[in-house]
Structure 1
């Protein structure tokens, strides 16, 4: 019995065939009435036991002029076994006779409820008996069976970020150079343009020719910040341990180049790590760049009198007071109780 296995993506296919040899065709036809059958020896395919049922006088009653053949799933308790099959009369050379071959066009499901599939009218007895394929009162039939196992397709997570990260690290086909804080960084025009509307306008617009000829200088950013910015652009991720100071610098850089996801990541980092030493700096940052979520988080933190007092003693307070006086005015307006409206108005005039 020949067999082979084929594996294709999510489907495992196992094929085998068995031969049913009916010695004494005439005797079986005389002894077995319509609806009575003989069964082949069992054979195993796809982890299940199978057999062929041969009805020499057909099944059901209206098929008594034909031979009926059925493929039977014998494995007890098997559920939803999918299979395709072909029944063929074999010629004297053991080859299938095309005119006496039948194949199911769709995959059938064998189960406890429906354990057998086949053909009521596999072949007309009269046609077979006139043919040359009934030799010495012997009929040979082959059943080719294909069992299909559905297997879950395991899709690996996207590794696009790894490939682009390698592209950045290895400088493969880089066509741009940036000069930042005394360091040079190679990059790819198309990647930057795809990830940032600002880079797209600069690199594919008026600056296209000049950016190809010489390094692009960025004077108001630290080299480590630009390196982190490039890392995010290529990998869509930040370094595992993003500290608060770097988050603040990256937030400004992300805002400058309109990289929205990075802005949200950095703003969230700062919102989750507000303390008395950093709140003044974060509040100034939020006011100057319009980071409303960060500004609100700072206001909520400073609603506590003790936090407000600690902030006023921090190093960043003087910078906040000189650079963003309007935000202090807004803070006072929020924290003073309503009954002190007159006092609030007096304080407000101090900034006018």
Structure 2
């Protein structure tokens, strides 16, 4: 029997002949469950009873288009808000009314704004409150662990809340370390997502090293899984030799993870 929702010939809903197919039924259940979950997270004022009892599921399904329109309106409002806030990015790129310089380990200092740095990072706020800066004795803060390009990407993110894909992929590791050092949780989550999305045998050791330095357990576990899965390709590379000289404890962890995997395979076949 044709489905009354997805069938091309069922244009009129006629009980009891019309039925709903399994795909549409499961889809409707998922939509209702999602809407009810959203409704449970929002505090709504109590409404007077209209005398007609309607379950949350039926109400959610009946109002799905209304909910979708609200989501689209919220999306448009968010886009307008982002456009409004882009003025901060323009001020950074144009160097307008800057009052502090940040200097990397190489390259010229980059002008910035004290107020924005202080609101984005408690560490920066503390650094900017030192007597030398407050008294005007110096107008430069040095971040020697970053290169000039990495520092510019860090500032770009603090102003804009995002980075172009090429910069994000190129500097995800150093920015992850910077997010941990200067306490910028949003940047930490951003870098974690980028590193997880691009994780492969070619960069697994780099990700493992960064995750260990930042105590990021999720990133560490995923990187370790890739290393163990491609252990022959990675361990016999020149990169691994340099990695082992700096990270002996991680090499021990790799060996232990490999032994656990081999034991699991052996137990599976016995």
Q: Taking structure 1 as the reference length, what is the TM-score of the superposition?
A: 0.48
SS in 1 for 2:80: coil
1:258 aligned partner: 183
SS in 1 for 2:103: strand
| Matched pairs, number | 188
Bigger Cα displacement from structure 2, 262-271 vs 324-333: 324-333
2:256 aligned partner: 333
Larger % of strand: which? 1
2:216 aligned partner: 291
1:165 aligned partner: 89
Cα 1:265–1:310 change in 2 (3 A) is same
* TM superposition shift of 1:240: 3.4
2:160 aligned partner: 235
* TM superposition shift of 1:183: 1.3
The answer (yes or no) to whether the contact 2:103–2:140 under 8 Å persists in 1 is yes
SS in 2 for 1:270: helix
In 1, Cα distance between equivalents of 2:95 and 2:159: 12
In 2, Cα distance between equivalents of 1:222 and 1:211: 26
In 1, Cα distance between equivalents of 2:168 and 2:102: 25
* TM superposition shift of 1:293: 1.8
The answer (yes or no) to whether the contact 1:232–1:238 under 8 Å persists in 2 is yes
* TM superposition shift of 1:233: 0.6
* TM superposition shift of 1:276: 2.0
In 2, Cα distance between equivalents of 1:273 and 1:219: 27
Q: Taking structure 2 as the reference length, what is the TM-score of the superposition?
A: 0.62
Cα 1:221–1:338 change in 2 (3 A) is closer
Unaligned runs of 5+ in 1: 1-151, 342-352
Unaligned runs of 5+ in 2: 1-72, 265-270
* TM superposition shift of 1:236: 0.9
The answer (yes or no) to whether the contact 2:102–2:110 under 8 Å persists in 1 is yes
In 1, Cα distance between equivalents of 2:257 and 2:138: 53
2:117 aligned partner: 192
